[in-house]
Amino acid sequence: MAAIHGHPMEYVIESIYVLCAAAQLAACPGYYSTASVEYYTVACYVFVVTSLIVVVLTLHTMWEVHAAHKASKKASFAGTIAGMTTSSREYLESLCFVVASMMFAVGCCLYIPDVGGGRLKALRNATTMFCVGSAANCFAAFINSLSLVKPCGFEDNGTFQLAAAALGLSELGAATLFAGSFFFYPEVSDGTCNVGPSWASVDVGTNLFIAGCSLYLTAAILNIISMHKKARMEVGSFLSEASSHQSNLIGDSERFQGMDERNWPALKAPMAP
């Protein structure tokens, strides 16, 4: 069963992904060492809410994959890459996103002053969850890359290039989040010296988070553009097939009208005995 792109729900889901990425990007400066406590707290809550929204959307995607797999009676899922079928790769990719978003949601909860209380253990555990979540995002992008195969001779309207660009941005974004997460460990900046560092470790991590969220936002925008292009291409293909089918019907009808009745003995009424 071929995927159908461009239905209203798909536009809604992709738009929510864009809004979540934009909200996380806007919240990132709240983690700077110079940010106010209020901004920092709001930033934590924004990451918690948006991460939970991504969990819900990803679970919906997993349900769609499951439904498509059950409905498919052809071998569309039979092709294997790295020992995994298409449905298996999509399941694993979605599972990685669920794990990543849950790690970020719980980690941000521990960062909230009223929840974690700023305790050293809470901050350490929250940062570890950020590292695990970022690593899961990296693995999800890798699994997605296994499915990005362009058949020989296949021509499209730029959707493959957009998908490849979005995948590359997602992989790079996950890598920057993974690198930036380590700078939030309290132990990174608990040393003492006569001259303080020129860069605060938390600010370096925040800069990497801003870069990562910017890349994810760009990838989300490219995904919705690619989805729209796929929808237009599928509509054009459908209209072309419908027009061709209609032309064949008209041609058959004209040939039928031009034939003598003697050429259709099977259609004659049986003679009475």
Instruction: Tokens for 170, please give them.
Output: 């997602």
pLDDT recorded at residue 89: 82
Instruction: Tokens for 166, please give them.
Output: 């979005």
pLDDT recorded at residue 120: 83
| Residue appearing with tokens 């919906």 | 60
CA 55 to chain centre: 11
When pLDDT is averaged across residues 46-51 and rounded to a whole number, the result is 96
pLDDT recorded at residue 61: 86
When pLDDT is averaged across residues 65-88 and rounded to a whole number, the result is 62
Q: At what angle do helices 120-147 and 86-111 cross, to 10 degrees?
A: 160
Percent of the chain past pLDDT 90, that is, above it, reads 39
- The CA–CA distances, whole Å, from 37 to 24, 30, 31, 204 equal 17, 8, 9, 19
pLDDT > 70? residue 146: yes
pLDDT > 50? residue 78: no
Give the pLDDT confidence of 155-185 residue by residue, as tens digits: 566 777 888 888 889 989 999 999 999 988 8
When pLDDT is averaged across residues 238-253 and rounded to a whole number, the result is 56
Q: What is the mean pLDDT of the chain?
A: 78
Percent of the chain past pLDDT 70, that is, above it, reads 69
